[in-house]
Amino acid sequence: MRFTEQDIEELQGAKNLLENPGLAARMSDFIGTPIEKGLELLPDSWNKNITEVTQTALMKASEAATFTMKDIPGAESSNLLHTLGAALSGGVGGFFGVAAITVELPISTSIMLRSIADVARSEGESIESIETRLACLQVFALGGKSETDNGAESGYFAVRSALAKSVTEAAGFIARKGVSDKSAPALVKFITKIAERFGVQVTQKAAAQTVPAIGAAGGSIINTLFIGHFQEMARGHFIVRRLERKYGEEKVKALYNSLPAEQR
């Protein structure tokens, strides 16, 4: 099957989103100073605690995110509603500062994961599917590097490849035993790998909120930028998955890699 012009355009749009995330740049523009300045203001214990904080947030979010959603593949997503929810939680976090992130992050992560699932559903995914739910969690690994990455390891398909084994193991475990055992090695390994990358972007968010006088209003805007970033990653990710269902993974990957990396 040959790619239609519309599908080529959609894949190009997906690549533009996935390969040009720009979260740190947007936050730097808002606070009027490079994120690096905010990083210097984070507590000394931050790097030691970030993995545990993000793992906890992702695990709690995975339990609650799709509780009230109906499984209607193709239904239009409601980005604005989820953005407002994230902005509200960000306002609370901004008011109390970086110390509140352990309370605020699980809430905002649950809202974001629900929004990601909403995007997945709008691209024809069944949110009751184990594969779809794991693909939703994968979005938190997109658009951010882990500490061990080099340039070649941070592209969209490189990240998916790096997560492939843990995704397969987690899916197999859930298919056999469900999600009741949150301490199962397969699930912990999967969440840990996601958290390594998600933690980079959480740190950028915390650095922006650490800037003096950011306040509740600033915290709301930062969370709006934060959820907007993951909504874009989700849209790109699930466009690619929709086209893979139509044309096959290898054909889509080959075309994706041949398309120019346009700057936004």
For the whole model, what pTM was predicted? 0.84
Q: Check residue 115 and give its pLDDT.
A: 86
Helix pair 23-31, 215-247: axis angle to 10 deg: 160
Q: Check residue 96 and give its pLDDT.
A: 45
pLDDT at 11 over 60: yes
Three-state DSSP state, 127:
coil
Per-residue pLDDT tens digits for 185-236: 788 888 889 999 999 998 888 888 777 766 656 777 888 888 889 989 999 9
Write down the residue that tokens 């808002």 correspond to: 30
Per-residue pLDDT tens digits for 40-83: 888 877 877 888 888 888 888 877 655 455 656 655 665 555 45
Provide the token pair at 59.
């695990």
Alpha-carbon span 17 to 21, nearest angstrom: 6
Three-state DSSP state, 44:
coil
